[in-house]
Amino acid sequence: MQNKLFFSKMHGLKNDFMVVETLTQKFLLTKKIIQKLSHRYTGIGFDQLLVIESPKIKNTDFNYRIFNSNGLEVEQCGNGARCLAKFVFQKKFIKKDRIIVSTKNRIMTLKIKKKNKVLVNLGTPNFNPKNIPFLSSIEKNIYSLKINSTKVYFGVVSVGNPHCVIIVNDILTAKVKEIGSILESHKFFPNKVNVGFMQILNRNNISLRVFERGVGETQSCGSGACAAVMIGIKQNKLSNIVHVILKGGSITVKFNPKKNCIYMLGSADHVYDGYIYY
Residues 176 and 240 in one domain: yes
Residues 134 and 255 in one domain: yes
pLDDT in tens, 8-38: 999 999 999 999 999 999 998 999 999 999 9
Q: What are the backbone angles phi and psi of residue 175, rounded to the nearest 5°? A: -85, 70
Mean pLDDT of 157-170: 97
How far apart (Å, rounded) are the C-alpha atoms in residues 150 and 153?
10
Outline where DSSP puts E strands in the chain. 4-12, 15-21, 48-53, 62-68, 73-74, 98-102, 107-112, 117-123, 143-147, 150-158, 162-167, 194-202, 205-212, 216-217, 241-246, 249-256, 261-267, 269-277
pLDDT in tens, 165-183: 999 999 999 999 999 999 9
For the whole model, what pTM was predicted? 0.92
Q: What are the backbone angles phi and psi of residue 103, rounded to the nearest 5°? A: -120, -165
Tell me how many domains the chain contains. Answer: 2
Residue type, 239: S
**DSSP at 129:** G
Residues 253 and 272 in one domain: no
Residues 173 and 79 in one domain: no
Residues 28 and 102 in one domain: yes
Residues with catalytic roles = 77, 221
What's the distance, Cα to Cα, between the start and end of the chain in Å?
A: 9
Question: 257: buried, middle or exposed (CB in 10 Å: 19+, 13-18, 0-12)?
Answer: exposed
Residues 112 and 134 in one domain: no
Residues 135 and 170 in one domain: yes
> Cβ–Cβ contacts within 10 Å for residue 23, how many?
11
Segments forming the whole domain that contains residue 92? 4-121+267-277
pLDDT of residue 110: 97
- Say yes or no to pLDDT of 221 above 90: yes
CB 251 within 8 A of CB 275: no
**CATH label of the domain that carries residue 103:** 3.10.310.10
Residues 111 and 171 in one domain: no
**Residue 120: closest CA among 246, 265, 245:** 265
Residues 139 and 250 in one domain: yes
pLDDT in tens, 209-218: 999 998 999 9
Residues 133 and 65 in one domain: no
pLDDT of residue 115: 85
pLDDT of residue 1: 65
Residues 180 and 79 in one domain: no
Mean pLDDT of 124-129: 97
pLDDT of residue 2: 84
How far apart (Å, rounded) are the C-alpha atoms in residues 182 and 171?
18
Residue type, 191: N
C-alpha separations of 222 from 93, 234, 278 in Å: 24, 19, 30
Mean pLDDT of 230-243: 98
How far apart (Å, rounded) are the C-alpha atoms in residues 150 and 179?
10
Any idea of the CA torsion for 179, 181, 184, 187, to the nearest 10 degrees? -90
**Residue 234: closest CA among 171, 174, 159, 178:** 159
Looking from the CA of 199 toward its CB, the CA atoms found within 13 Å total 15
Residues 141 and 250 in one domain: yes
